[in-house]
A = this chain, B = another copy of it.
Amino acid sequence: MTKKSEQPKDQKSKSQEGLTIKKGENFSEWYNQVVQKAELADYSDVKGFMVIRPNAYSIWEQIQSYFDQRIKTLGVRNAYFPLLIPESFFKKESEHAKGFAPEVAWISNKDENTTERLAIRPTSETIMYDSYSKWIRSWRDLPLRINQWCNVVRWETKATRLFLRTREFLWQEGHCVYETKEECDKETLQFLEEYKKTCEEILAIPVLVGRKTEKEKFSGAFYTLSVDGIMPDGKTLQMGTSHNLGQGFAKSFGISFLDRNEKKSVPWQNSWGISTRLIGAVIMAHGDDHGLVLPPKVAYNKVVIIPLLFKGKEQEVLKKAKEISNKLEKFNPLLDDRDYNPGRKFGEWELKGIPIRVEVGPRDVEKKQVTAVRRDNGKKLEFKESNLIKEIEKTLEEIQDYMFKKAKSDFDEKITDVKNIAELNKAISNQKVARAFFCGDSKCEERIKEQSEGVKSINMPLEKNSKEAKCFSCNKPTKTVCYFGKVY
């Protein structure tokens, strides 16, 4: 409290100032400034935990709304499982337990008749599959497709970054059970494809689609598929994963069913998730020197309307601005009629990334038109009032389209083929992602990491190569290609 009263309290708060650094100058500091100044997130007093502010939460809501509808179409139903998981559940699947142990936060069970510790969920496989073992009896109960939107806690020891690596984040975790491996394989891939669509069609971020190496797969999985974006600094960001869990969890949790031949069988399972880290991806991928740039499909407010209040014309301009705001209701327009000068308002809404700024001045009123400015490329347009909704719609589509194309061209440029460790290291130091033939062996991968500055495998494209080549690291023959890079 004392601290706060020492701060200057002028009407222009810090967050409303523009960026003081360029994206190309210091990417990391630029990111922090955008997050703070566009009022996207704050650190909390608990180390590593974040406050997701409304400007960022609305991005998450747009992602939720799109993705939730997609998975419902695919037969997935939402549910909610407990936050706290008994320690004994964790131990049932040993690889899983080993993978998550260091990151788990525990609470002491407050009940007197037990001393078992309770974990705050880092992920919910174990508590969900305990229920599944009670619910599944027959092939008629399959496929079972359940998803939950919730918070998870992972006590990261690495430095935290808002949205990208925090000790708590929001996500969805889908958990399905199938009669056969084939069905499980098929849908594990299907959910990955939904993630690809979400990234590319909604977030306008192209992704590397592939299979994780044995070393990098999810703890307890049979295999893991992933989509990874390439950020402007050349580091990749894992944006979604879909795991075929095989039958391991089912066996550990006693999930079985009577199959179509009345025989007891062990089902196949998958799990898949995306998280609020996608918000970080949007910031990094599209932001510019003026701040955030939101793809229209993740922008809740797609338009901001700014009346230009020339003296003597205030009333007619304001009236028109309100009229236009009502007309554009489906785009959730913001009408900024505060008594600030227009330049300040332009700056604030550019910083916050609203896709289209609509200016209404006396001349516009007269000519029954508005001036519109695109956030993505700064282009000025004039729209006739009579055709406004259609023009805005079309422009939003163009922005979405243009942003993806621009991101895709950056993405393509970032990928470099390499043939040996020296080339790998050169590519990485040039902020690129390396593509190479790779044997897939964990020891070989460990060696690559040691021979570079901690470079990791990203994933291996799913399309099979016809030609055989040699692993760029150990020279073993292989048909597999793999991406390597520094990762968030």
Contact = CB atoms under 8 A, between A and B. Distances in A.
Interface string A43-67: 0111101111110011011000000
Interface in A158-181: 168, 170
A134 interface: yes
A310 interface: no
B45 A83 contact: no
A106 B120 CA distance: 11
Contact of A133 (B1, B53, B106): B1
Given A82-B49, A107-B106, A151 B150 contact: yes
A89 B150 CA distance: 24
Interface stretch (A73-81, A343-351, A389-397): A73-81
Nearest to A166: B82
A145 to B, nearest CB: 9
Contact of A168 (B79, B83, B111): B83
A108 interface: yes
Nearest to A13: B137
Contacts of A47: 111
Contacts of A4: 133-134, 254
A82 B44 contact: yes
Contacts of A80: 51-52, 57, 60, 151, 170
A57 to B, nearest CB: 5
A346 to B, nearest CB: 18
A274 to B, nearest CB: 16
User: DSSP majority for the A interface?
Assistant: mixed
B137 A46 contact: no
A131 B51 contact: yes
Contacts of A57: 77-80
A337 interface: no
B254 A46 contact: no
B51 A78 contact: no
B82 A51 contact: yes
A81 B137 contact: no
Interface string A72-98: 000001111111111001000000000
B79 A53 contact: yes
A118 B46 CA distance: 8
A138 interface: yes
Contacts of A50: 82
A153 interface: yes
A258 B58 contact: no
A79 B60 CA distance: 10
A4 B258 CA distance: 13
Contacts of A107: 105-107, 120
A155 interface: yes
A54 B77 contact: yes
A11 interface: yes
A311 interface: no
Interface in A279-312: none
A4 B252 CA distance: 13
29 contacts: A1-B253, A1-B254, A4-B133, A5-B254, A5-B256, A10-B137, A13-B138, A13-B141, A44-B82, A44-B127, A44-B130, A44-B131, A45-B127, A46-B86, A47-B111, A51-B131, A54-B77, A54-B79, A54-B146, A57-B80, A58-B78, A60-B80, A80-B151, A82-B168, A83-B153, A106-B107, A108-B108, A140-B338, A150-B151
Given A13-B141, A46-B86, A140-B338, 11 more contacts: A4-B134, A5-B254, A9-B138, A11-B137, A11-B138, A11-B140, A54-B79, A80-B151, A84-B153, A84-B168, A110-B155
- Top 8 A-B residue pairs of the complex, sorted by shortest distance between their CB atoms: A1-B254, A54-B77, A49-B82, A52-B80, A107-B107, A44-B82, A57-B79, A54-B79
